[in-house]
A and B are shown apart, each in its own frame.
Chain A
């Protein structure tokens, strides 16, 4: 009897774990997809539609926009640093003033979804 209860609890734990991981992966994918749309509408004008840092405005900027597909550069930045750069602008992280502060335009959730998309751009391809 005791063994049967243990087996049941183990099975239940397994199901909950699988559901939680699945749900978490689905949320992450949804975040990154929202981030992709936000990136296209806001960031791509300078950073480029593919995130290479070569958007249509890039040749007219005195400082080249960050290449978001550069694994080495991007993996060295924490999510907190990326959040600060997007929210407060380049100057807040000792980078170019040409990167504007988006924290009064995008919500925290939207900025987090952008970070999820940046992680996909730089490090999952």
Chain B
């Protein structure tokens, strides 16, 4: 006999299940962060003004996190999402500096506690594993810069020096100290696999091309 409730339940059971969200316990020292950052994994990544942190342990270097949380500075000249911080006058866009927020600075003890917790968030291990064949290498600064700016066009959105490059993406002359090498490779390979709201396209580059870009970011820093 036809029963609409059972029919709906049957139809629902046939639908693909959404990816299970990773539910993590958030310590008190981090709870305020949830106002701007996504701390829990879910399919909906909309509505956050700052980068997602639910995979922070797959992304950042712990020492950088500890240091930056104590002395934070703006990594993206145009804020978390550029379009929210742009004003247009006579058809010309510029950054509305008054709309940009500063990140609060933490004391040493809290910064260590928060960064340790953030580094425990590693739900993207499988995605990261796809980039395991990358071994950091080198590239000549001149060829690396030419590839970054002229051939791949990365400099249109990112800065590879404090003075040169676009404004919508995060600065990259500090990327190697900030980010794990395999994350850099994986993100270039498919930005939206990490952040559905990323304004960076998947260029469909091959592994050699991606490794060359990663090596260029490496030689931009003096460390490591």
Which residues of A come within 8 Å of B, CB atoms? 40-42, 44-46, 48-50, 52, 54-58, 60-62, 69, 97-105
Given the interface contacts A49-B83, A56-B86, does A44 sit within 8 Å of B93 by beta carbon? yes
Residues of B within 8 A of A62 (CB): 149-150
Residues of A within 8 A of B92 (CB): 48, 52, 54
Residues of B within 8 A of A101 (CB): 201, 203-204
Q: Are A48 and B153 in contact (CB under 8 A)?
A: no
Q: Are B201 and A100 in contact (CB under 8 A)?
A: yes
B166 on the A face (CB < 8 A): yes
Of A52, A56, A97, which is within 8 A of B168 by CB?
A56
Question: What's the least CB distance linking B39 to chain A, in Å?
Answer: 23
Which residues of B come within 8 Å of A, CB atoms? 78, 82-83, 86, 88, 91-95, 149-153, 155-157, 164-168, 191-192, 197, 199, 201-204
Q: Are A41 and B199 in contact (CB under 8 A)?
A: yes
Q: Are B156 and A49 in contact (CB under 8 A)?
A: no
Residues of A within 8 A of B197 (CB): 41
Which of B82, B86, B93, B164 has the most CB atoms of chain A within a 10 A radius of its CB?
B93
Query: Which B-chain residue is minimally distant from A99 (CB atoms)?
Result: B153
Of A49, A54, A55, A104, which is within 8 A of B201 by CB?
A104
Q: Are A46 and B83 in contact (CB under 8 A)?
A: no
